[in-house]
Every structure is written in structure tokens, then in C-alpha cells.
Amino acid sequence: MLDRCEAWEDVATTQNASPHHRTIAPSRHRAWSGTRGYCHMNKMRLEGQNFVELNAPTDAQIRQRVLALRSTGKHSYASLTSEDGSYVQVAGGGATCMVERFDPATGKRERAFHDKPNPTFPDGTLLVFGAGKLTLKSDEWFAADAVVEIFLCFKEAREYPDAVHWRPAPGF
């Protein structure tokens, strides 16, 4: 298991989309300022395809839900939303995940990427999941364990791992 928010050397990245969220944003390594006060009180909501919504989810619940995701099947996306409306979301599952974040204060949605492009998934490869299809770049594919760490960093208003970067999400 990776230590939370430590640099990732061999992790692929992915992004997701849920019917509830269309965009994601914030800063490069940190949870954006709008979430800081709420994260410490854990006024978060964890939602996902065919999952019962959880208010104030524990780390173990977040880990269990994200690790249960699969690109095909009944659980293929999830989101963690703070009280101010900012969120992180994931689409896909296993080794084929995509992550986005949204900041309602700026209206920016951003997609996560990392330092190690995945040669198995060249630019333009489609992620097909329960809410549709997304075209990803080779550096946007993440493994589920890396997504867990991103979600926990968001929940706890901690800096994201050094290897996780953010760019504007396509189409927004």
C-alpha cells in the first residue's frame, strides 16, 4: 500500500466521469482552499454507480468503494464531494481509472495526469464505463490504489502526491 500523498513512481493515471459531475478542478498538489474547512469536519458525501450514498465516509469505506470499481460492470464510477460542492471523481476501475476534480468557486474542472505515460494505452485510447466513453491521454490512466490516495488527500485537505498533476479537463 502506498503511503498517503507520497510520490508515486510506477502508477498509471485515469480519469472518470459520473452523471452527477461533469468537471473537476483545483491546484496542482493541494486540495483547493474551498475544501479545507470542510475536510477536517468530514462533511463529505461519497456517491457512485449502484452504491448507496455515504455521508461522512471513513477512509476504509472510501478505499473499499474505489477498489470495487471496474470499467465494466455495475460499479464503474464514484465521486467524493465536500460541503462547498468541490469534488474529485473517478471513472473506470482496477488499472484503468481516470480522475477529475472540480472547484465551484472558480468553475474549473481538471483532469489528473502523472509523470509516467502508459505505453499500453497510447493517447486517444477510450475508457468505456457505465456513464459513457472518455478519450484519455497516455499519462491520464491511474491504478485504483493511486485513486484511493487522491480521494483521501482530497478528504483530508492534504497535498496530492508529487507525481499527480492537473490540467484543464477536455471540453470545459
Cell numbers for 160, please give them.
496530492
State phi, psi for 66 to the nearest 5 degrees.
-65, -40
Q: What is the pLDDT at residue 87?
A: 98
Contact call for residues 99 and 87 (beta carbons, < 8 A): no
Enter the DSSP assignment of 38. H
Question: CA 19, CA 34: separation in Å to the nearest integer?
Answer: 23
Domain definitions of the chain by residue range: 33-168
pLDDT at 13 over 50: no
- Tell me: pLDDT of 144 over 80: yes
Summary mean pLDDT of the chain: 79
**Other CB atoms within 10 Å distance of the CB of residue 81:** 23
Average pLDDT of the segment spanning 62-76: 90
The residue behind cell 461533469 is: 22
